[in-house]
């Protein structure tokens, strides 16, 4: 899966900045997407392209259980968020609803991948190739259940053993 | 096994479970509100188009519904969401729907304890992150997104990874000027907003034994702000009495074994606790009130599932009795039952005499939705749970999180004030 990176070099990007509370009444996904990241980056909606990735630090998606957060990012075109760590509800919402891939990365990848870099994520080999910089990083493999739910295409398509 | 392991072992039909085991747990109670409910309806519509049967819920008697985030409706989208929710409960035969303008209603987490919707030992999931609150009753209470809740409503079960447990031990009774809110802010300041990530935060020790059920609810409520999967207190006679008074029966207490294991134990001395605030823009950004910045406040907000239970209003009233507020101050009791008790016991008169506006139960301005949101550059002291940028209104407004005692004392002076320092 190839795409370009939008980088937010900070920790604790919370659900209130991913999609502010005043928009929680909206359940039209296209409209929600126009407000994605509004609390942090008013340019996001104009610069994001289909297939882009977000790169960020620790505890991405902390705060609320609002599924609006992965939905707003996904309907903006974001296919994966790469972060040093994720808050639990954002992580499970992203996977169970099959909105986007939450990819846990290490400090090496976080430091070396820059805004605009083109990268290629391979969740089978757990490798991230930086095409722009000709570098390769490891991603943290998904746990067994997460891998199976992703493979199935979300929780409703997953058949427990 | 500790209490959470015991509850989840029972719910998954196993003799025992250990941290990192992945299980499917049978759910005892599930809740949606006017934000997660319409989300569930949208998931159901999509499933229907895929040919999946959504005609019946797993058990309508175990599902309950709250109207809290966008009531009273400020505009038509919110109004339509309430109509959707009402049609949903009608179609699926859900009887426990707490409706705005029809007797008891309030913030979902407050209803969970005021109406004894959840009992000790149960697995309770809600479409809201602060579902953790209800763990104070000795249940496994965990917040989920609306896809997961839709799955629960149809299947009656959901997957969990068994969490490790962090044990927070409080020695001795908290002093009068210190509330549970101060303690949980102190803890979040110590461990950070991901300090409990994916884990259980359990509270115990003599200080917790001494604490009221409502104070324990405040502690568990804000485990969410440390990233925890759930918060929990082992249930005791106080919980039984609290729930029995609210109509519950057949309460069975589940407790951890004496050799239960914890990933880490933190100890706190009540005598060392101080009134504490979290500065903008994170709940972990804590400082004791006497060292807080000397800012001019614009507003004091006493509301939300965290800070508008009866006990919270009582604390604010103790400060505001016979005094006047110097800044815009709002009190929004978290449920009608609390509103009514506040009226019967004279608290509303104290608030109104002090110049406070008393509003209806709503999540309202706590999540920046409506009813009293902040303007650019405004500074608010608030008994709520989050202070991220834009949380309570404009992205350049600021919120300090505090106990009701501190929010009331600050309302009187217009500065962040330790209740001990009021004249």
What is the residue extent of each domain of chain A?
2-157
Contact indicator for B267, B351 with CB cutoff of 8 Å = no
CB contact under 8 A, A143 and B391: no
Q: What is the pLDDT of residues B159-193, one digit of tens each?
A: 999 999 999 999 999 999 999 999 999 999 999 99
What's residue B327's pLDDT?
A: 98
The alpha-carbon gap from A139 to the nearest alpha carbon of chain B, in Å, equals 19
What's residue A93's pLDDT?
A: 98
Flag whether pLDDT at A161 surpasses 80: no
- Which fold does the domain A2-157 belong to in CATH? Aconitase; domain 4 (3.20.19)
Tell me the pLDDT of chain B averaged across its residues. 98
- Of the candidates B286, B297, B272, the one whose C-alpha atom is nearest the C-alpha of residue B225 is B286
- Mean pLDDT, residues B112-123: 98
What's residue B41's pLDDT?
A: 98
Q: What is the pLDDT of residues A20-78, one digit of tens each?
A: 999 999 999 999 999 999 999 999 999 999 999 999 999 999 999 999 999 999 999 99
Contact indicator for B34, B281 with CB cutoff of 8 Å = no
Q: What is the pLDDT of residues B286-326, one digit of tens each?
A: 999 999 999 999 999 999 999 999 999 999 999 999 999 99
Q: What is the pLDDT of residues B363-378, one digit of tens each?
A: 999 999 999 999 999 9
B78 to chain A: closest CA residue: A25
| Helical (H) or strand (E) element with A128 | strand A127-130
What's residue B325's pLDDT?
A: 98
Flag whether pLDDT at A160 surpasses 90: no
The Cα–Cα gap between B279 and B293 comes to 9
CB contact under 8 A, B369 and A24: yes
Best probe of the A interface among B194, B223, B281, B394, by most A CBs < 10 A, is B194
Nearest to B143 among A17, A65, A68 (CB): A65
What's residue B243's pLDDT?
A: 98
Contact indicator for B140, B107 with CB cutoff of 8 Å = no
Could you give all domains of chain B from N- to C-terminal order, each with its CATH number? 3-268 (3.30.499.10), 276-421 (3.30.499.10)
Q: What is the pLDDT of residues B13-70, one digit of tens each?
A: 999 999 999 999 999 999 999 999 999 999 999 999 999 999 999 999 999 999 999 9
Nearest to B145 among A26, A85, A93 (CB): A93
What's residue B153's pLDDT?
A: 98
Return the DSSP state at B51.
T
Contact indicator for B282, B388 with CB cutoff of 8 Å = yes
Nearest to B35 among A66, A92, A145 (CB): A66
Q: Please identify among residues 112-151 of chain A the ones whose CB lies closer than 8 Å to any CB of chain B.
A: 143-145
Sign of torsion over alpha carbons B101, B404, A21, A60: negative
Q: Residues of chain B with pLDDT > 90: what percent?
A: 100
What's residue B8's pLDDT?
A: 98
> pLDDT band at residue B423, thresholds of 50, 70 and 90?
confident
Query: HSE (CB half, 13 Å, CA atoms) of B154?
Result: 17
**pTM > 0.90: yes or no:** yes
What's residue A139's pLDDT?
A: 98
The Cα–Cα gap between B402 and B278 comes to 7
H-only helix segments in chain A? 15-18, 29-33, 44-47, 68-74, 88-96, 107-112, 144-152
Flag whether pLDDT at A85 surpasses 80: yes
The Cα–Cα gap between A42 and A59 comes to 21
Q: Rounded to the nearest 5°, which phi and psi values hold at B116?
A: 50, 50
């Amino acid at each position: 899966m190839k795409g370009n990176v939008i980088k937010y070099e900070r920790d604790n990007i919370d659900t209130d900045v991913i999609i502010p509370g005043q928009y929680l009444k909206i359940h039209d996904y296209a409209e929600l997407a126009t407000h994605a990241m509004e609390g942090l980056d008013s340019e996001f909606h104009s610069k994001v392209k289909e297939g882009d990735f977000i790169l960020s630090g620790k505890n991405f998606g902390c705060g609320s259980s609002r599924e609006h957060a992965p939905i707003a990012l996904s309907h903006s075109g974001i296919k994966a968020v790469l972060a040093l760590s994720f808050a639990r509800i954002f992580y499970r919402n992203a996977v169970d609803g099959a909105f986007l891939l939450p990819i846990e990365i290490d400090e090496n990848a976080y430091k070396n991948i820059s805004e605009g870099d083109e990268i290629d994520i391979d969740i089978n080999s757990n490798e991230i190739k930086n095409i722009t910089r000709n570098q390769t990083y490891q991603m943290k493999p998904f746990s067994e259940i997460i891998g199976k739910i992703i493979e199935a295409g979300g929780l409703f398509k997953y058949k427990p053993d | 096994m500790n209490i959470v392991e015991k509850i989840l072992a029972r719910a998954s039909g196993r003799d025992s479970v250990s941290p990192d085991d992945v299980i499917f747990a049978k759910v005892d109670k599930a809740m949606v509100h006017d934000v997660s409910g319409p989300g569930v309806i949208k998931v159901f519509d999509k499933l229907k188009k895929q040919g999946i049967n959504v005609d019946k819920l797993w058990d309508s008697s175990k599902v309950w519904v709250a109207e809290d985030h966008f009531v009273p409706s400020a505009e038509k989208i919110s109004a339509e969401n309430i109509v959707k929710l009402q049609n949903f409960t009608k179609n699926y035969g859900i009887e426990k729907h707490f409706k705005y303008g029809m007797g008891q209603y309030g913030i979902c987490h407050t209803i969970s304890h005021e109406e004894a919707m959840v009992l000790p030992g149960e697995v309770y999931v809600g479409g809201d992150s602060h579902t953790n609150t209800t763990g104070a009753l000795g249940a496994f209470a965990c917040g989920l997104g609306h896809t997961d809740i839709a799955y629960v409503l149809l299947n009656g079960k959901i997957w969990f990874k068994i969490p490790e447990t962090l044990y927070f031990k409080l020695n001795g009774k908290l002093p009068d000027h210190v509330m549970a809110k101060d303690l949980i802010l102190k803890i979040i300041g110590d461990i950070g907003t991901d300090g409990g990530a994916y884990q259980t935060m359990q509270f115990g020790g003599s200080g917790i034994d001494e604490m009221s059920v409502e104070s324990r609810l405040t502690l568990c409520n804000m485990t969410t702000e440390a990233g925890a999967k759930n918060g929990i207190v082992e249930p005791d006679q106080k919980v039984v009495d609290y729930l029995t008074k609210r109509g519950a029966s057949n309460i069975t207490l589940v407790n951890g074994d004496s050799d239960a294991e914890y990933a880490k134990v933190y100890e706190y001395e009540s005598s060392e606790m101080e009134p504490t605030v979290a500065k903008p823009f994170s709940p972990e950004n804590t400082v004791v009130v006497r060292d807080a910045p000397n800012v001019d406040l614009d507003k004091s907000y006493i509301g939300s599932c965290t800070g508008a239970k009866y006990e919270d209003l009582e604390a604010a009233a103790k400060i505001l009795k016979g005094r006047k507020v110097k800044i815009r101050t709002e009190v929004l009791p978290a449920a009608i039952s609390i509103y009514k008790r506040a009226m019967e016991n004279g608290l509303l008169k104290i608030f109104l005499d002090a110049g406070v506006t008393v509003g209806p139960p709503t999540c309202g301005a706590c999540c920046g939705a409506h009813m009293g949101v902040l303007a650019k550059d405004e500074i608010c002291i608030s008994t709520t749970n989050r202070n991220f940028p834009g949380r309570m209104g404009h992205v350049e407004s600021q919120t300090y999180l505090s106990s009701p005692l501190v929010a009331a004392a600050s309302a009187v002076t217009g500065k962040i004030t330790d209740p001990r320092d009021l004249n």
